[in-house]
Amino acid sequence: MSTSTWPALEYEQLDWERRDADHGPRAARRSTVREQYLAAVPPHISTAALRLSDEVATLVDEASTALVRFDGELGGEVAPFSSLLLRSEAAASSQIEHLTASARQVFAAEIGAPGKRNATAIVSNTRAMRTAIELSDELTADTVLAMHAVLMDGDPHHDAGAFRQEAVWIGTDGRSPVGADYVAPAWQRVPALIDDVMAFARRLDLPRLAQVAVAHAQFETVHPFTDGNGRTGRALLQAMLRSNELTRNVTVPVSAGLLTDTDGYVEALTAYRRGAVEPIIRRVAEASFTAIGNATELVDDIQRIRQGWRDRVDARSDSGVWAALDVVARQPVLNATVLASQMGIEPRNAYPHLQKLVGAGILVSKNEYQHGVLYRNDEVLAALDAFARRAGRRG
């Protein structure tokens, strides 16, 4: 039995004005209908006591240990894996929001090639994740705004990096919050609530992974933006994992673990709002184990692929082609400019390496209209797509 207690949401009644068009000869006229709806009033949690049952406390401790161990095992060979795992986490977080694209489309979009809108959104999410990790030592409202600014940059329909100043809700139609499954707190409450949850995130007296899960759930409850709340909240989760030193070297794709049971994830968030804190903590801990298993398989695949490359390339030990292969491992779609930038050489000096790798069958070249020649490695792309398929399984 759970011994945990947590303050549940309260609600307040607010007014909503709906404007309906008349359907007579003067259809341009509109009538105003005043309705009422219930909006959430989340409790402030910055000083709340977090008590866990022995079972959940043990699960949290075991998951935390597994995260630290996985991160440490990759510490000596982090270069190719840190970027791939970061992108995999961003893609999985986006997939929870039904934004999907192949690894090839995402990497092509990242270097400016035309492609699916979803791929561009995933690239933005990757940048938001990277921003979150870079700012993990500063868990404040400004950190959250910076993540959102990167995520929503260029979106003409939403204010990037700004808290909402309107009602948002989940369920029912897009025109009215009346009858919605969940209506987030009034926008006037958002700044204080975000300050509060970030104060909770900075506490030093809590089980670290449990703290991460609760802060994430509270953030999603506040829903501070008109769009991008889920992706920003999962970027915050990664920032807290790094801040709490559960990860130091790589991004463990916890969103990929959550993706295996999105219904369970949503149910846990709903339970949290009713005052049950343990379901979301349990879900994040279980997702951590799932993520570690999936990421380990990806790392093994990449290591096997890299070993195969070494068997196929004939070059001196001091040849620059080996550095080029390291770039390909973390950037499996690239052009001469990208390779040169990451190797610190002139673009003209990148072409011999690219040609050698094409000759060895490691890279495939394709002339893209208006974007010149792009090179890709289908083995790494296939490994990343296999990772995404494993994450998408419902368990």
Distance CA 274, CA 9 (A): 6
Contact 41, 11 (CB under 8 A): yes
- What's the CA angle centered on 99, arms 230 and 385, to 5 degrees? 115
Describe the crossing of helices 117-134 and 141-151 by its angle, rounded to 10 degrees.
Answer: 160
Q: What's at 104, amino acid-wise?
A: R
Identity at 108, one-letter amino acid code: A
- Establish whether domains 49-297 and 316-384 are of one fold: no
Helix (H, G, I), strand (E, B) or coil at 279: helix
Record the tokens describing residue 126, joined without a space.
């990757």
Strands (DSSP E) contained in 25-165 are: 30-41
Taking only Cα atoms into account, the Rg of the chain, rounded to an integer number of angstroms, comes to 23
Pick the CATH number of 316-384 from 3.40.50.300, 1.10.10.10, 3.90.1150.10, 2.60.40.10: 1.10.10.10
Could you give phi then psi for residue 372, rounded to 5 degrees?
A: 70, -155
Rounded distance between C-alpha atoms, residue 57 and residue 282, angstroms: 9
Q: What is the pLDDT of residue 17?
A: 85
Domain ranges across the chain: 49-297, 316-384
Query: With contact defined as beta carbons under 8 Å apart, do 42 and 306 qualify?
Result: no
Per-residue pLDDT of the chain (395 residues; tens, 9 = 90+): 444 579 999 999 999 987 665 555 555 556 678 899 999 999 999 999 999 999 999 999 999 999 999 998 886 666 567 888 999 999 999 999 998 999 999 999 998 877 678 999 999 999 999 999 999 999 999 999 999 999 999 888 899 999 999 999 998 777 889 989 999 999 999 999 999 999 999 999 999 999 999 999 999 999 999 999 999 999 999 999 999 999 988 899 999 899 989 999 999 999 999 999 999 999 999 999 999 999 999 999 999 999 999 999 988 888 999 999 999 999 999 999 999 999 999 999 999 999 999 999 999 998 875 667 899 999 999 999 999 999 876 54
Domain 49-297 has CATH 1.10.3290.10: yes
Residue 30's beta-bridge partner residues? Answer: 21
* Residue-level pLDDT at 164: 97
Query: Would you call 177 helix, strand, or coil by DSSP?
Result: coil
Do 210 and 60 touch, CB atoms closer than 8 A?
yes
pTM for this model (two decimals): 0.90
Q: What letters, b where the CB count within 10 A reaches 16 and e where it falls short, cover 147-156? A: bbbbbbeeee
Angle between helices 208-222 and 190-201 (to 10 degrees): 170
User: Distance between CA atoms of 262 and 257, rounded to whole angstroms?
Assistant: 9
